[in-house]
């Protein structure tokens, strides 16, 4: 299939590993999936310390279940990505460790205090879920199938995150103030989740034409603001004056782009932002620490495949 | 040789198990699967898999989902209005799964 034929056939769940797809498609789909998979993993590492820091047994259990889910989402997505035949799972995981793999802007920032957890667990997971729900219509069938499973689980994440937010905003004055502070800090980053406005996004056109991207950045940001902005207000959070958000008559929003820090955003996109660099390193250490497990599994796989492992032959 | 058969209704759907056939090789297994399982039910694709290649774990060997109360894994547990339609849809699926587990 050439690019034109691919564009003509593009529709939800249309292409599977059986199809002979052009390299442009395979590369674009791999880039999206790898970014998505890396983000699941880096997000999980960010939330992991809160299994320990959670204030109650229920929250501890929920965070532990959530982190486990996110790592699983990463694995599902690496599978969907490697079935495109461009990169293997090992290559993607190594690139992530070496600081070459890209991932979501929000996961380059440190997550230090309990009051910050709903910024990720409610707002970022909510934004991610908005986007993921549209990707159930991806033209790459393995991606759409991964989304079925992931969206099935995400409802728990988002509601759990919201329940923490509600608890904090109904808590002591101090808790409310600290949560508001965390919100002020995270809100611009969350608005940047969907990337720059459409005219600045370089990969969109092709990805949209071949059915990999189903909604534009602007449409997704609007849909997110339509539901999550009222939620924030409902819990008594004040929306910061900047970045300015204008509500249009048709229910859409314009975010004043100049009020957002795009230098920081693009520094992050290059993996050059300092806290993010430390977080990439931290994950690399974790990956290195369990190298012996991967080696043992590889050896086992070689034996199961019928051959004898080199060590066993000695 | 026994081959397990999986049918996919339409492109993009999941292949689901629909039965098995007795056949000497893969080619014949595909032919028998086509005749037995692809004639009436809507079929876009069939898979055949040698039965002995399938691994299984069932309720005799495993306690799926654990033995203690794990309601914290389910959206319904958290007493907030779903923020968006996709959250609501997920909650429905989770609650349905929870209900069926309860019946099992
Ligand atoms: Fe996830
Ligand atoms: Fe999540």
The yes-or-no verdict on residue A113 having pLDDT over 50 is yes
Beta bridge partner(s), residue A247: A253
Distance from CA of A281 to the nearest CA of B (A): 30
The yes-or-no verdict on residue A309 having pLDDT over 60 is no
Helix (H) or strand (E) holding B5: strand B2-8
Q: Do B84 and A62 touch (CB under 8 A)?
A: no
Q: Do B90 and A155 touch (CB under 8 A)?
A: yes
User: Tell me, which fold does domain A3-304 have in CATH?
Assistant: Ferritin (1.20.1260)
- Residues ≥6 apart with Cβ < 8 Å to B62: none
Question: Within a 10 A sphere around the Cβ of A11, how many other Cβ atoms?
Answer: 12
pLDDT tens-digit series, residues A12-26: 999 999 999 999 999
Written as six digits, the tokens of A267 are 């520094």
Q: Do A129 and B84 touch (CB under 8 A)?
A: yes
Contacts with B97 from chain A: Cβ below 8 Å: 152
Dump the DSSP string for B7-76: EESSTTSPPEEEEEEE-SSHHHHHHHHHHHHSSSS--SEEEEEEGGG-----TTT--TT-SS--GGGSGG
Is the bond preceding residue B69 a cis peptide, omega within 30 degrees?
no
Domain ranges of chain B: 2-53, 56-104
Instruction: Find the ligand nearest to A147 CA.
Output: 1
Instruction: Find the ligand nearest to A154 CA.
Output: 2
Question: Within a 10 A sphere around the Cβ of A290, how many other Cβ atoms?
Answer: 10
The yes-or-no verdict on residue A313 having pLDDT over 50 is no
The yes-or-no verdict on residue A312 having pLDDT over 50 is no
The yes-or-no verdict on residue A103 having pLDDT over 80 is yes
pLDDT tens-digit series, residues A136-158: 999 999 999 999 999 999 999 99
Q: What percentage of chain A reaches a pLDDT higher than 90?
A: 88
* DSSP code, position A251: S
Contacts with A130 from chain B: Cβ below 8 Å: 84, 86
Count Cβ atoms within 10 A of the Cβ of residue B76 and give its class: 0-12 exposed, 13-18 middle, 19 or more buried: middle
Taking residues B88-99, what's their average pLDDT? 94
Count Cβ atoms within 10 A of the Cβ of residue B64 and give its class: 0-12 exposed, 13-18 middle, 19 or more buried: exposed
Beta-strand relationship, B16-22 and B45-50: unpaired
Can you tell me which residue has the tokens 């693009």? A266
Taking residues A180-192, what's their average pLDDT? 97
Instruction: Quote the CA–CA distance of A309 and B13 in Å, as a whole number.
Output: 39
A53 Cα to the center of ligand 2, angstroms: 19
pLDDT tens-digit series, residues A188-207: 999 999 988 765 555 558 99
Q: Do A154 and B87 touch (CB under 8 A)?
A: yes
- Write phi, then psi, for B50 (nearest 5 degrees): -55, 130
Q: What percentage of chain A reaches a pLDDT higher than 70?
A: 95
Taking residues B64-73, what's their average pLDDT? 91
Beta strands in chain A, from DSSP E residues, in sequence order: 245-247, 253-255
CA dihedral A202, A206, A208, A211 (to 10 degrees): -140
Of the pLDDT bands very low, low, confident and very high (cuts 50, 70, 90), residue B103 is: confident
Q: At what angle are helices A125-134 and A217-234 packed, to 10 degrees?
A: 140
The yes-or-no verdict on residue A226 having pLDDT over 70 is yes
Q: Strand order in B45-50's β-sheet?
A: B16-22, B2-8, B45-50
What pLDDT shows up at residue B101?
86
Q: What percentage of chain B reaches a pLDDT higher than 70?
A: 99
Residue B38, CA distances (Å) to A18, B17, B18, B32, B35 in order:
20, 13, 10, 9, 6
CB A147 within 8 A of CB A131: no
Count Cβ atoms within 10 A of the Cβ of residue A237 and give its class: 0-12 exposed, 13-18 middle, 19 or more buried: buried
A90 Cα to the center of ligand 1, angstroms: 20
Tell me whether A160 touches chain B (CB under 8 Å).
Answer: yes
The pTM for the full model equals 0.92
Closest Cβ–Cβ partner in B74, B79, B88 for A163: B79
Report every protein residue that has its C-beta within 5 angstroms of ion ligand 2. A 125, 157
ipTM: 0.86
Tell me whether B47 touches chain A (CB under 8 Å).
Answer: no
């Amino acid at each position: 299939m050439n690019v034109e034929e691919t564009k003509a056939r593009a529709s939800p769940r249309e292409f599977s590993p059986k199809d002979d797809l052009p390299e442009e498609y395979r590369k674009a789909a791999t880039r999206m999936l790898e970014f998505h998979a890396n983000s699941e993993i880096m997000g999980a590492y960010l939330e992991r310390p809160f299994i320990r820091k959670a204030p109650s047994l229920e929250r501890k259990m929920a965070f532990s279940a959530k982190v486990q889910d996110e790592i699983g989402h990463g694995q599902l997505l690496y599978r969907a990505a490697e079935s495109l035949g461009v990169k293997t799972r090992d290559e993607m995981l190594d690139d992530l460790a070496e600081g070459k793999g890209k991932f979501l802007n929000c996961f380059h920032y440190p997550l230090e205090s309990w009051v910050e957890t709903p910024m990720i667990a409610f707002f970022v997971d909510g934004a991610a879920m908005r986007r993921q729900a549209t990707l159930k219509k991806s033209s790459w069938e393995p991606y759409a199938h991964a989304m079925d499973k992931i969206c099935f689980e995400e409802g728990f994440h988002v509601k759990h995150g919201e329940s923490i937010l509600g608890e904090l905003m109904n808590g002591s004055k101090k808790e409310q103030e600290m949560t508001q502070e965390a919100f002020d800090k995270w809100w611009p980053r969350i608005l940047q989740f969907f990337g720059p406005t459409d005219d600045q996004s370089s990969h969109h056109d092709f990805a949209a034409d071949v059915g990999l991207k189903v909604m534009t950045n602007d449409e997704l940001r609007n849909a997110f603001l339509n539901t999550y902005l009222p939620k924030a207000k409902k819990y008594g959070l004040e929306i910061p004056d900047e970045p300015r958000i204008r509500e249009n008559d048709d229910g859409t929003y314009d975010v004043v782009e100049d009020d957002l820090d795009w230098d920081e955003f693009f520094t992050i996109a290059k993996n050059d932002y300092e806290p993010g660099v430390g977080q990439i390193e931290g994950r690399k250490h974790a990956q290195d620490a369990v190298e012996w497990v991967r080696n043992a599994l590889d050896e086992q796989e070689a034996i199961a495949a019928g051959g004898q492992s080199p060590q066993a032959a000695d | 040789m026994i081959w397990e058969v999986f049918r996919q209704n339409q492109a993009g759907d999941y292949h689901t198990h629909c039965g098995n056939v007795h056949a000497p090789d893969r080619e014949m297994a595909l032919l028998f699967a086509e005749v037995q399982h692809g004639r009436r039910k809507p079929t876009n694709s069939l898979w055949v898999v040698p039965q002995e290649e399938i691994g299984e774990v069932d309720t005799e060997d495993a306690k799926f989902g654990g033995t203690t109360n794990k309601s914290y894994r389910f959206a319904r547990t958290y007493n907030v209005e779903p923020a968006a339609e996709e959250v609501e849809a997920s909650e429905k699926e989770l609650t349905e799964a929870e209900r069926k587990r309860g019946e099992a």
